[in-house]
Amino acid sequence: LASLEISPKPTVLRWDTGATGGGEVMIAAGPCGVESLEQTLTAAHYVKKHGAQMLRGGAFKPRTSPYSFQGMGQEGLEILAEARRQTGLPVVTEVVSPEQVDLVAAYADVLQIGARNAQNFALLQAAGQSGRAVLLKRGMSMTLEELLMSAEYILAQGNMRVILVERGIRTFEKSTRFTLDVSAVPVLKSLTHLPVWIDPSHAAGKRDWVTALALAGLAAGADGLIVETHPDPEKAQSDAAQQLNEAQFADMMSRVKALLPAL
């Protein structure tokens, strides 16, 4: 169902603030995790001001260590809903288990399935039944063919609103957190009609490198970006090293607009 041979026309997903696919580009931005009402509202207002069309923020955080901050849960979802009410930005947030899909879908516009769950087939099927668009990240050790097969689990439930995200893969290189596979953009676009986005934040792992990767992804033809930014990145409870502060986010957005004047 993801194949261009089945549907040769690009899939375009639309919200009130913008669209992705078929030449349209959207930027989703916000903190890695929802940490407080104030932190999330501050980020939501400035990402909108600088031109983002969607707000990101995790309420359920899939952390490598069980002792790390796991997210605010339902309270975090309520904060995201308030941010949407104040800004009009649609919200993308992660869901980490099939049992939580209904809860997260009640608050979110887009369900995010993270790299660590990209082959959690029960979760993919539940997201496929949710009625919400799904942003599916590539697992850090997944081939592009495997990513498309994961998308197939969602599509097979009758949900055609799927965004594929390249967020960096594991290689021998240790300077960056992951290695951004820019080739994923043209390769996926030769195979599928689904929108393809880049997550430069998790690939870079360090804020100084995020803008370059974002621009590389868009230059390669990506239909969108999902970027982490935090009002006070040093104090972030997750992914502190890679989140842009407001000034850095504004700078990234001005470079993105220089590359894509139509945005």
Footprint of ligand PEP on this chain (CB under 6 A)?
A: 32, 58, 62, 114-116, 137, 167, 199, 202
Question: Residues in contact with Mn ion, total (CB under 5 A)?
Answer: 2
Beta carbon nearer to ligand PEP, 12 or 216: 216
Shortest separation between residue 262's beta carbon and ligand PEP, angstroms: 26
Residue 140 CB, nearest approach to ligand PEP (Å): 7
Residue 32 interacts with Mn ion (CB under 5 A)? yes
Which of 73-102 are b and which e, b meaning 16 or more Cβ less than 10 Å from the residue's Cβ?
eeebbebbeebbeebebbbbbbbbebebbe
Please state, in angstroms and rounded to a whole number, the distance separating the CA atoms of residues 167 and 114. Answer: 10
| CB 151, CB 142: distance < 8 Å | no
Partner whose binding site includes residue 137, from Mn ion, ligand PEP, none (CB under 5 to 8 Å by kind): ligand PEP
Q: Rule CB under 5 A: is residue 239 a binding residue for Mn ion?
A: yes
Q: Which is nearer to ligand PEP, 132 or 167 (CB)?
A: 167
Considering the complex, state which of residue 30 and residue 254 has its C-beta at the smaller distance from ligand PEP.
Answer: 30
Q: Which is nearer to ligand PEP, 137 or 193 (CB)?
A: 137
The least distance separating ligand PEP from the CB of residue 212, rounded to whole angstroms, comes to 18
The answer to whether the beta carbons of residues 33 and 237 sit under 8 Å apart is: yes
Residue nearest to ligand PEP (CB): 114
**Least distance (Å) between residue 202 CB and ligand PEP:** 4
- In the bound state with ligand PEP, the residue whose beta carbon lies nearer, of 18 and 200, is 200
Determine how many CB atoms are found less than 10 A away from the CB of residue 219. 12
The footprint of Mn ion (CB under 5 A) covers: 32, 239
